[in-house]
Amino acid sequence: MRSEKAQALEAPRPALPQKKTARRAGTNREREHQKATLLDEYYAALARKQALEAFFQRTTDPDLIASCIFELNAAEQQYGYILGRLKAEGVTSLRILRSPGQ
């Protein structure tokens, strides 16, 4: 008969917990990608909003003015929504080096 100690040594050991560093690194990369995507959306929404504001200032046709007001309200809501998402992601500064047209 084997001793209890010998049986315990031969018993399969439970697996050790795996390190989560690779998972964290992937998560950090995903977050950075998500922030970059949000920033791209922010700059696109800002450009659209500014273009609509400029168009509104130049427009004299009543039908176009009504349409522009509708689109400008939608653009402002989208802009505000994206700013809220950026804030939720912890982006506190939009001072990022970007070349014009990107």
Distance between CA atoms of residues 68 and 53, nearest Å: 8
pLDDT 10s digits, 29-77? 888 888 888 889 999 999 999 999 999 999 999 889 999 999 999 999 9
pLDDT at 53: 93
Distance between CA atoms of residues 45 and 76, nearest Å: 8
11 versus 50: the higher-pLDDT residue is: 50
CB atoms within 10 A of CB 47: 11
Question: Does residue 94 register a pLDDT over 70?
Answer: no
Domains assigned to the chain? 24-88 (1.20.58)
| DSSP class per residue in 16-61 | PPPP-HHHHHHHHHHHHHHHHHHHHHHHHHHHHHHHHHHHHHH---
98 band by pLDDT with thresholds 50, 70 and 90: very low
pLDDT at 91: 79
Per the CB < 8 A criterion, the answer to whether 39 and 89 are in contact is no
